[in-house]
Amino acid sequence: MGKKPFIVGNWKMNLTLAEGVEFAKSLGNNLHGKNEIMCGICPPFIFLKDISKVLEGSGICMGAQNIHSEINGAYTGEISALMVKEAGCTHVLIGHSERRHLFGEIDSFINAKIKTALSVNLKPIFCIGETLNEREEGRTKYVVKKQLKNGLMGIDNKCVEELVIAYEPVWAIGTGKTASPEQANEVHSFIRGFLTDEYGKDIANSVYIQYGGSVKPENTKELIAQTEIDGLLVGGASIKLESFLKIIDAASIQ
Catalytic residues: 96, 168
CA distances, 130 to each of 133, 134, 142, 169, 174 (Å): 8, 6, 9, 5, 14
Q: How far is the CB of 178 from ligand PEP (least distance, A)?
A: 8
If binding is defined by CB under 6 A, does position 128 make contact with ligand PEP? no
Q: How far apart are CA 252 and CA 32, in angstroms?
A: 14
224 and 250 Cβ atoms separated by less than 8 Å: yes
Beta strands in 29-147 (DSSP E): 38-42, 61-64, 91-94, 123-128
Residue 174 interacts with ligand PEP (CB under 6 A): yes or no: yes
Between 199 and 235, name the residue whose CB sits nearer to ligand PEP: 235
- Is 43 among the residues that bind ligand PEP (CB under 6 A)? no
Under the criterion CB under 6 A, does residue 230 sit at the interface with ligand PEP?
no
Provide, rounded to whole angstroms, the least separation between the CB of residue 179 and ligand PEP. 11
- Between the CA of residue 32 and those of 22, 59, 60, 244, what are the distances in Å? 16, 8, 10, 15
Strands 123-128 and 61-64: unpaired
Q: Does 62 bind ligand PEP (CB under 6 A)?
A: no
Site string for ligand PEP, 133-172 (x = CB under 6 A): -----------------------------------x----
Q: What are phi and psi of 28, to 5 degrees?
A: -60, -45
Q: Is 63 in the site for ligand PEP (CB under 6 A)?
A: no
Among 51, 212, 243, 247, binds ligand PEP (CB under 6 A): 212
We find the least distance from the C-beta atom of residue 209 to ligand PEP, in angstroms, to be 14
Interface residues with ligand PEP (CB under 6 A) are: 10, 168, 173-174, 212-215, 233-237
